[in-house]
Structure 1
Amino acid sequence: MEKKYTKEEIIEKAYEIAHMIANTEQVDFFKRAEAQINENQKVRESISSLKSLQKQAVNFQQYGKERALNIIEGKISNIEEEIDAIPIVQEFKQSQGEVNELLQLVSTTIANGVTNEVIKSTDGDLLRGETGSYVKNTTYNHLQ
């Protein structure tokens, strides 16, 4: 009989995986890029301007000032483009994407692994993705 795991044991393993992910090259690069962004005066000033404009946009939107809102949104868009054009920001976004990809891969692997384990443990059909009880019941129903 296979060992049964507790929720606590599973959470402990999840922390282990989180620790492993936090110590990958991707996360290392992400942290370095973030630090460089935070140290970059131009980026800090642009982000500060962006936040200020976003607050103004919210106010204009609340008071129905469409023309003013459109002008502010144009300025916001220009600043976002300027920020995105900075090489370290591009590298940061790329590393962020790689970390998210890794997290998604782990999540999908776990979900698919659980599904496959359930199918196998119930003598189901892996190719069809059907559990044993489903296979037995639909086979039985088709025979009648």
Structure 2
Amino acid sequence: MAKYTKDDIVARATDLARIIAETEEVDFFKRAEAHIHDNQKVKTLIADIKGLQKQAVNLQHYGKSEALKKVENKIATIEQELDDIPVVQDFKQSQVEVNELLQLIASTISNTVTDEIIISTGGDVLMGETGASMKNGGGSCEGHDDCDHEH
């Protein structure tokens, strides 16, 4: 049985990351991000939000709750205007798709490692139990001819 080091795994992960960077999802993300940076209306609205956020921090610091509420409402209005712009919608959608891809990869790795541990210890993948837990009184003997403990 092959033994891998952390360095081996990191090297493989780096290769996988390069492959992921070549997917349609990441390509869509890069194009959407470029459109965001090229859009003057988006730049202006983001600058407006940043300026208002600084005002909000100062108003909060000085306890000016009425003025703070007005500034927060302005920020919300501009954020909604920003969200209504098609290139922003595309960008947000691309973020969701890349995140879903990364979550799928992470869960696939996690599930596969768990299954490999169960299999390598003579456990039952369907029951989600390692061979060690089965030998030590965990699990069910149903359907196991070689089960030598009582429940």
Task: Give the TM-score range, shorter chain.
Answer: over 0.9
Deviation at 1:22, TM superposition (A): 0.7
> 1:55-70 residue pairs with structure 2 within 5 A?
55-70=54-69
SS at match of 1:138: coil
Partner of 1:133: 132
SS at match of 2:136: helix
Partner of 1:8: 7
Cα deviations by residue, 1:55-91 (Å, 9 ceiling, x for unpaired): 1111112222111111011000000000000001101
| Identity across the alignment (%) | 58
Cα deviations by residue, 1:19-46 (Å, 9 ceiling, x for unpaired): 0111111111111111111111100000
| 1: CA distance, partners of 2:125 / 2:52 | 54
Q: In structure 1, what residue type is equivalent to 2:48?
A: S
State the Cα RMSD in Å. Answer: 1.4
Q: In structure 1, what residue type is equivalent to 2:83?
A: D
Partner of 1:49: 48
Partner of 1:73: 72
| 2: CA distance, partners of 1:128 / 1:59 | 57
| 1: CA distance, partners of 2:137 / 2:66 | 62
Partner of 1:20: 19
More helix by share: 1
Partner of 1:89: 88
SS at match of 1:69: helix
Normalised to the residue count of structure 2, the TM-score between the two structures is 0.90
Normalised to the residue count of structure 1, the TM-score between the two structures is 0.94
> 1:100-111 residue pairs with structure 2 within 5 A?
100-111=99-110
Question: Is residue 2:142 matched to residue 1:143?
Answer: no
| 1: CA distance, partners of 2:71 / 2:12 | 48
Q: Structure 1 segments of 4 or more deviating over 4 A?
A: none
How many aligned positions are there?
Answer: 142
Deviation at 1:143, TM superposition (A): 2.2
Cα deviations by residue, 1:77-108 (Å, 9 ceiling, x for unpaired): 00000000000110110011000000010001
SS at match of 2:137: helix
